[in-house]
Structure 1
Amino acid sequence: MLDSYKGFRLLLVHAHPDDETINNGATMAMYADLGAQVTLVTCTRGEEGEVLISDLSHLASTHTDSLGEHREIELKDAMDALGISDFRFLGDKSVKFRDSGMMGTEPNNRPDVFWQADLDGASAHLVKVIEEVKPHVLVTYDEIGGYGHPDHIQAHRVAMRASELAQWKISKIYWNAMPKSVLAEGIAKMREIGSDFFGADNVDDLPFAKDDALVTAMIDGTTYVDLKMKAMAAHATQIELDGPFFALSNNLGQQVWGHEYYSLVHGKKSEPFDANGRETDLFAGVTQA
């Protein structure tokens, strides 16, 4: 590990185990390796996730309802792969937020799910983390949670509300983003090999596609892609080794997972910039305190 970022602190707020690796795995591994303190807060245990391993189908919420406990183990293994030691679930010993499932489903109406949580009450738990960790940079989802999952939307709301309520003022806040130009290239490449890109015929079919002008930062974490792929493999109940995520890597090259994109929504955009005018460092312009 190098110490070039020692003293800098990054907080990420995600909805379910595996979201952090898919969106930010290379970024997390890079900054941790460079000496920054990286803290992950996961809001639910992903109890309503689909189980992709047939031998573990009994874990599903419709059977033994023990997927959440299993995904805790998957998350730990993924964080070990990325070199992250500080990862927590939102809440405390007496408060735990459950995966809400998709909008309109039966689980979404349960009183204990994250979507039904009181916003300020849930945010208060994150405020405690912010006051403890004192992050310079916060990363979370945009206002639609990337693709509309209620837990992603609620994670966004909680992260933004907590940043307002906390006495510690976070210097920069980023939302995860994916430029339309990059997604269009992915669709074209996958079409060449006779496959689709998550069922999309064109980039406008993807709710998480952002106009390039809205994407203000790109972290080049290609050096850390192998660690990201190990972390993705650790989330085995959610990500198939021969599924679309790994197919993308095989056909688009390492940059498809090593390049991670963000939109700056609070704080000042600062040098250095890449050829597209995007920040190349989430901590750019941040003064340690």
Structure 2
Amino acid sequence: MDQRMLLVHAHPDDETIGQGATMAKYVARGTQVTLVTCTLGEEGEVLVPSLEHLAADKTDALGEHRVTELANAMKELGVTDHRFLGGAGHYRDSGMMWDEQRRAVARAETKEGTFWRADLLEASDLLVDIIREVRPQVLVTYDQYGNYGHPDHIQAHRVATYATALAAVTSYRPELGPAWDIAKVYWGAMSMNRMREGLRALRAAGDTTSFEGMDPEGEMPPFMVPDDQLSAVVEADEFAEAKMRAMKAHATQISVDGPFFALSNNIGNQVWGTEFYRLAKGVQGPTNEAGLETDLFAGLD
């Protein structure tokens, strides 16, 4: 088996929340899994009281700490090839703010060197270099909205999309290596139907605070994708526990008492062991009865 998968994410912890079970499953079956993280997550909120001094407005040492959290999470998932775009600290976390509609948007002012302000071609060339080295058949990243609007997620989508196109052009930057055309590009997604089921279970169990403001029968936020727009599902329930351990490794960012774990406790680990995708480039391979691929390499030789 010669399968290679590349994931492009904005901050440490994004990869585990979105595709932790997928990564663990493919590593276990012998696929080469490479993770590229674009920033250290320096602007993240610190959820551990004893580590609050690491915050950006204090000692500004959170990024270095999250490098270790990411390494520990990858150990839980079995991923041995994880890198930072341009090297650790090359791009800084841009941070975000909430607008009046409670949508994530870029801050009015961002610091020098933030990923949101990065030159698109420069950042893309750094990823072209990796693509041509790794030669993945499959790439996974965010949709054009960055799933929920974080500027670094949007920028990661842009960089991954542009780099994918540039890497395939034989005459483009030959010094970065032989051209490579990635066969399939996927955007990570969350099933709207699955989320409604989970919210119903939470509310039925008396939990009214997790995912506060989200009504299982009402309008869903933009990162919830209608199921008829999904292209693939990776069912990896046997790796849900590894994913949960990896999430716990990102201790400054994910609370064990938070909504992710409440959801898991109420409807079982399958809610996090099953991960969905939209096919953004390539041809959909064989599907199940629901019209979804069950393997991101489906249809590839």
User: Shorter-chain-normalised TM-score: which range?
Assistant: over 0.9
The 3-state SS of whatever aligns with 1:143 is coil
Q: Indicate the residue corresponding to 1:187 in structure 2.
A: 199
Q: Indicate the residue corresponding to 2:281 in structure 1.
A: 266
The 3-state SS of whatever aligns with 1:109 is coil
Number of residue pairs aligned between Structure 1 and Structure 2: 279
Residues 232-251 of structure 1: pairs in structure 2 closer than 5 A: 232-251=247-266
Residues 1-289 of structure 1: pairs in structure 2 closer than 5 A: 6-92=1-87, 96-102=90-96, 103-105=105-107, 108-166=109-167, 167-196=179-208, 197-199=210-212, 200-202=214-216, 204-271=219-286, 273-287=287-301
The 3-state SS of whatever aligns with 1:165 is helix
The 3-state SS of whatever aligns with 2:149 is coil
Per-residue CA deviation, residues 146-170 of structure 1 (Å, 9 max, x unaligned), is: 0000000000000000000002000
Would the aligned equivalents of 2:93 and 2:152 in 1 still touch at CA under 8 Å? yes
Q: Indicate the residue corresponding to 1:3 in structure 2.
A: none
Specify the code of the residue in structure 1 equivalent to 2:293. Answer: E
The 3-state SS of whatever aligns with 1:249 is helix
Specify the code of the residue in structure 1 equivalent to 2:52. Answer: S
Would the aligned equivalents of 2:24 and 2:78 in 1 still touch at CA under 8 Å? yes
Per-residue CA deviation, residues 130-182 of structure 1 (Å, 9 max, x unaligned), is: 00000000000000000000000000000000000002000000001112111
Distance 2:226 2:56 in 1: 37
- Residues 12 and 104 of structure 1: CA distance in aligned 2, closer, same or farther (over 3 Å): closer
The 3-state SS of whatever aligns with 1:176 is strand
Per-residue CA deviation, residues 11-46 of structure 1 (Å, 9 max, x unaligned), is: 000000000000000000000010000000000000
Provide runs of 4+ in structure 1 moved above 4 Å.
none
C-alpha deviation, 1:187, in angstroms = 1.6
Specify the code of the residue in structure 1 equivalent to 2:196. Answer: A
Give the root-mean-square deviation of aligned CA atoms.
Answer: 1.3
Specify the code of the residue in structure 2 equivalent to 1:177. Answer: A
C-alpha deviation, 1:104, in angstroms = 4.5
Specify the code of the residue in structure 2 equivalent to 1:192. Answer: A
Distance 1:52 1:74 in 2: 13
Identical residues among aligned pairs (%): 54
TM-score (norm 1): 0.94
Q: Flag structure 1 segments of 5+ consecutive residues without an equivalent.
A: 1-5
TM-score (norm 2): 0.90
C-alpha deviation, 1:254, in angstroms = 1.4
Specify the code of the residue in structure 2 equivalent to 1:173. Answer: V
Per-residue CA deviation, residues 175-228 of structure 1 (Å, 9 max, x unaligned), is: 011121111112211111222442212452422011111101000010111111
Specify the code of the residue in structure 1 equivalent to 2:259. Answer: P
The 3-state SS of whatever aligns with 1:275 is coil
